[in-house]
């Protein structure tokens, strides 16, 4: 099970019991916006993973839904770690590409400067020899 599936289960259970967000808020003190984040699968809107986990546990207890959320969050953390590794790889590749582009630009500039100096020197030699 993932967080998206859990969102659907929670929403279905609350609607089946016909419990309003206001009632849950009054009885649990969970802010309504957090209840909506959970049911709308907007987990990224929580201020932190710890906050998300604590609110979710409280909400699940209130609805009497038993889910091993520790394993659920471990899976989410693994996905996050994989995404972080991929992101670092992309960033590293981009940095290497920028370094290469800078080196190529430097070589082109040196080449242009060398050609310019060569033609200037060649011109002066011709003037002197005449």
CB of 24 within 8 A of CB of 62?
yes
Q: Report pTM.
A: 0.57
Q: What are 103-120's pLDDT values in tens digits?
A: 999 999 999 999 999 999
Q: What's residue 129's pLDDT?
A: 83
Q: What distance separates the 2 farthest-apart alpha carbons in the chain?
A: 104
Closest CA to 11 of 44, 35, 46, 45: 35
Q: What's residue 72's pLDDT?
A: 72
CATH 1.10.260.40, domain 3-67, yes or no: yes
Instruction: Report the mean per-residue pLDDT for the chain.
Output: 88
């Amino acid at each position: 099970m993932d967080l998206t599936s859990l969102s659907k289960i929670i929403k279905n259970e609350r609607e089946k019991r016909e419990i309003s967000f206001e009632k849950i808020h009054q009885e649990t003190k969970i802010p309504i916006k957090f209840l909506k984040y959970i049911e709308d699968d907007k987990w990224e809107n929580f201020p932190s993973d710890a906050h998300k986990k604590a609110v979710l546990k409280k909400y699940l207890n209130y609805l009497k839904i038993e889910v091993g959320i520790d394993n659920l969050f471990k899976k989410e953390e693994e996905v996050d770690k994989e995404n972080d590794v991929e992101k670092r790889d992309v960033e590293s590749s981009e940095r290497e590409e920028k370094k290469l582009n800078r080196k190529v630009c430097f070589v082109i500039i040196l080449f242009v400067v060398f050609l310019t100096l060569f033609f200037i020197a060649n011109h002066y030699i011709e003037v002197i020899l005449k």
